[in-house]
Structure 1
């Protein structure tokens, strides 16, 4: 049996283009809404600790992104299907289905890229934006160079044309996805066996859509982000970024990168590993709560 977020209802909500998203929803529907987006190779289950804490004061919505978990996995018939712009439209639609015209949005990893795009595309809808452990797509490709780029080998693998990446990953799905759960975490105990197994099952069942999501980040997402950069677009809402000190490791100033996009920025470093919402839920909850007070 797949674990769930304690005390949350399991629902299906409409996204964009006829896609349905599986979501866990908890807290008072009349309270201020917060949407939490998961990362790779995870599902909405990654928010199980943080969501319960936030639900004491907020209406908390945790969807599986399109192509992940129990959400629909449309075929990538064109570059727009898994563009972060489309995935951001999913989030706006599901919040509207719950009666929320405006909401706060927090994303981790892949979900953070979706949240970043939502912040640029829908500034009138997002009240606050939280980002966990990424830099924007354009900056990511800029800083991954030389031997340091080896840490992101999967980005280059899944950027290749359809066919070979899907075949290679599907033939060794548990080893492939499990390697990130092992390498990126700071505390193995934060991912109990039943949670790890749930992530591996969900990822193995979603190889084509996961690859399509990553392929979009080497294609259409770059086009969209570059257009915003050229136009001088910035994030209009309060932004909190919490990340590991990747900048020091890869030779760039992460806070400076984010300040170029987010004038109202609270940039924080954590000693937790990449799966920080599971490794340090109190720290991440506190950072989100501080954001929501701004």
Structure 2
């Protein structure tokens, strides 16, 4: 069973470096591009996208290496760098005739969106970030036993071979464990959607690992170069994160303020999969971002 976003056209479009991306497009008006997280596909936006499509052209794509998009071999560290994935987004939007657009990302997609905002400030008009901190900061705040929640980051940072083998041999259990642990409302990801996520992830183990491996290497280098240069996000930025309270162990709003002078930082009572758990809240946050 293939699931899609009702009322949206599903197509393939060119990204960067010859990579083709799968996308769902609907609505009319100023363009908004939505990028999914892990272990998901563009389907995670099915509720939010339909709400925004009443006012905007909404483009939901599968990142390179995920879902129905191309999964190039990781022949070098740059293939799955967020810089390359951000270039995919810009190329795909250009193929649709959009040289400027708003960009919203969740989880892995938020890291791609962050990089797009830094690399393409003339293209990204507004930036929405959901439930991450930038890659460089993420590694800086992970320490001690509290870092156990991010064990998968360390696993997939290892050299090629062992992570791919371990995950492939237990794909459903591995990817399903994150859906179970991170969903504040399990009913928000019904069985057919969960199954679609697990199928897509099991078919993309090498590229998913390569994406995470890049975040332990080349992505850090790119973030550090921007930090050293004093680069910041030039556009209005909205960040929505889970309300972990004091147990988070650091001030996420302050982390983001260093990168985004024009920042609206919000907390939500929803779980990590907030676009599926609280679509009205997330759609409203995006609309308010676009009005700034």
Please say whether Structure 1 and Structure 2 have the same fold, judged by a TM-score greater than 0.5.
Answer: yes
- What are the superposed Cα offsets for residues 171-202 of structure 1, whole Å, 9 maximum, x if unpaired? 00000000000000000100000000000000
1:107 correspondence with 2:105: yes
Aligned to 2:96: 98
Distance 2:192 2:236 in 1: 36
- Work out whether residues 247 and 254 of structure 1, in 8 Å CA contact, stay in contact via their aligned partners in 2: no
- What are the superposed Cα offsets for residues 245-274 of structure 1, whole Å, 9 maximum, x if unpaired? 346323100100000000000000000000
Distance 1:4 1:199 in 2: 12
- Work out whether residues 49 and 278 of structure 1, in 8 Å CA contact, stay in contact via their aligned partners in 2: yes
Aligned to 1:21: 21
Distance 1:277 1:190 in 2: 9
Distance 1:233 1:78 in 2: 26
Kindly tell me the number of residue pairs found equivalent between the two proteins.
292
Q: Pick from 33, 48, 51 the counterpart of residue 50 of structure 1.
A: 48
Give how far 1:2 is off: 1.7
Aligned to 1:177: 175
Distance 2:52 2:35 in 1: 14
TM-score, normalization by structure 2: 0.99
Distance 1:238 1:159 in 2: 32
- What are the superposed Cα offsets for residues 83-128 of structure 1, whole Å, 9 maximum, x if unpaired? 0000000000000000000000000000000000000000000000
Q: Pick from 135, 151, 156 the counterpart of residue 137 of structure 1.
A: 135
Aligned to 2:146: 148
Aligned to 2:289: 291
Distance 2:237 2:248 in 1: 23
Q: Give unmatched runs, 5+ long, in structure 1.
A: none
Distance 2:33 2:3 in 1: 20
Distance 1:223 1:72 in 2: 25
Q: What SS does the aligned partner of 2:10 have? A: strand
Q: Which moved more, 1:225-234 or 1:248-257?
A: 248-257
1:125 correspondence with 2:133: no
Give how far 1:3 is off: 1.1
- Work out whether residues 247 and 253 of structure 1, in 8 Å CA contact, stay in contact via their aligned partners in 2: no
- What are the superposed Cα offsets for residues 12-39 of structure 1, whole Å, 9 maximum, x if unpaired? 01000000000000012xx100000000
TM-score, normalization by structure 1: 0.99
- Work out whether residues 144 and 250 of structure 1, in 8 Å CA contact, stay in contact via their aligned partners in 2: no
Off by >3 Å, runs of 4+ in structure 1: none
Change (3 A) 1:158 1:186: same
Distance 2:51 2:62 in 1: 19
Distance 1:247 1:211 in 2: 30
Give how far 1:164 is off: 0.0
Q: What SS does the aligned partner of 1:22 have? A: strand
- Work out whether residues 68 and 209 of structure 1, in 8 Å CA contact, stay in contact via their aligned partners in 2: yes
Q: What SS does the aligned partner of 1:243 have? A: strand
